[in-house]
Amino acid sequence: MSLLTQLLHNRKALVGVTILVIVILVAVFAPMLTEYSPTQRVGRPHQPPSADHWLGTTRLGYDVFTRLLYGARVSLAVGFGAGLLITVIGTVLGIIAGYKGGVVDEIITFLTNMILVIPNLPLLLVLAAFIGQASPLVIAIILGFTSWAWGVRVTRSETLSVRQRDFVKSAQMLGEPSWRIMAFEIFPNLISIVGINFIGSVIFAVITEATLEFLGLGDPNTVSWGIMLYNAQNASALSVGAWWEILTPCVALAVLGLGLALINFAIDEIANPRLRTGGMLARWTGLVRRGEGQL
C-alpha cells in the first residue's frame, strides 16, 4: 500500500507509469483509434505522413500508424509474459539457493554462473534460428528459460542477508516448514528486489524480442514493432528516404523502454532512500555546503 502511494509521489515513477498506461491503453483500444487494418493494403507504397495516413505507409502500402498501435500489443504481451517467467524462475531459485545453502546452493550458483558467462544474445539467436520463424509466444518462452540467471544472483545474495535476521530465526525455532519461511518470511522482504528484477526483465524482453525480429528470426506475419523494423530494413527504408517507416517503431521502443526504466529507478529510490535526491535534499545539501563556506 505505502509502496503505491510512495510511487505516486515520485516524479520519475509518475512519468514512467504515465507512459506505460498510455501504451497499454493504445494496445487495448487499437481498433477504435484507427480505421485501417494492420494487415491490409490501404494506400500507395511509401507515402509520407499525411492527414489520411498520420505516419505514412510502408512499402507494401500498410498504414504505419495502425501497425504501431497493434504492434504495442505484441511488445507488451511478450515483455510482461517473459518478464514474469524470468522473475518467477529467478526469485524461486534465488530464495531456495540463499535459504537452503549447502549442495543445493552450490548447484544453483554453478548453473547461474555458467549461464552468465555464455553470451546471451548470440545463444538466443542460435536458438531462435533453430526453431525458425519464431512466433512471439515462442520468443517469450525462450527468453524466460534462458535469462533468469541475473535474477537468481541478486535474489540469492539478498536472501543470504535476510536469512540472518531475528524473525527468520524465530520462525525456525517455532518449527515453521521451510517453504513457509521462504514464501512468507523471506519473500515479502525481497519485494523491492523482485520488483526491480521484474521491470528490468520486462525491458530486456521487449528489447530482445524486437532485436530477434529485426534480425529476421521472428515470424514475418506478426504485427509487432520488431517486425516493423525488419520490414523497414528489408524495404531499404533508410536509403529511399522513408524515414517514417523506420523511425516510428524506433521511437516507440525507446519511449516504452524509457517509461519502464523510470519506474525501475523509482522503485530503487523508494527501497533505498539514500538514492533519493529530490529538491529537498538539494536544498539541504546547499545549506550544508554554504555552512562549510564551500559554495
* Site residues, other proteins (CB under 8 A): 12, 110, 113-114, 116-123, 125-127, 129-130, 132, 150, 153, 203, 206-207, 210-211, 214-217, 229, 233, 238-239, 241, 243, 246-247, 250, 253-254, 257-258, 260-262, 265, 268, 272, 274-275, 277-279, 281-282, 284-285, 294
Min separation Cβ 130 and other proteins, Å: 5
Cβ proximity to other proteins: between 180 and 283 the closer is: 283
Give burial (CB, 10 Å; 0-12/13-18/19+) of 287: exposed
- As a whole number of Å, the CA-based R_g of the chain is 23
Cβ proximity to other proteins: between 188 and 278 the closer is: 278
Cβ proximity to other proteins: between 124 and 194 the closer is: 124
Cβ proximity to other proteins: between 132 and 175 the closer is: 132
Cβ proximity to other proteins: between 95 and 260 the closer is: 260
Nearest Cα to Cα of residue 270 among 10, 15, 91: 10
Min separation Cβ 295 and other proteins, Å: 11
Number of neighbours of residue 37 by Cβ within 10 angstroms = 15
Residues shown for the chain: 295
C-alpha cell at 277: 535526491
Cβ proximity to other proteins: between 105 and 176 the closer is: 105
Amino acid letter, residue 281: L
Residue 241 · residue 56 · CB < 8 Å:
no
Nearest Cα to Cα of residue 158 among 91, 203, 84: 91
Min separation Cβ 230 and other proteins, Å: 10
**Residue 185 DSSP class:** I
Min separation Cβ 9 and other proteins, Å: 17
Cβ proximity to other proteins: between 177 and 273 the closer is: 273
**CA-based torsion, 210, 211, 212, 214: positive or negative:** positive
Min separation Cβ 233 and other proteins, Å: 8
Min separation Cβ 199 and other proteins, Å: 10
DSSP for 21-62, written as a single string:
HHHHHHHHTHHHH-SS-TTS--S-TTPPS-SSSTT-B-TT--
Rounded-to-integer distance, Cα 229 and Cα 256, Å: 16
C-alpha cell at 267: 522503485
Min separation Cβ 246 and other proteins, Å: 6
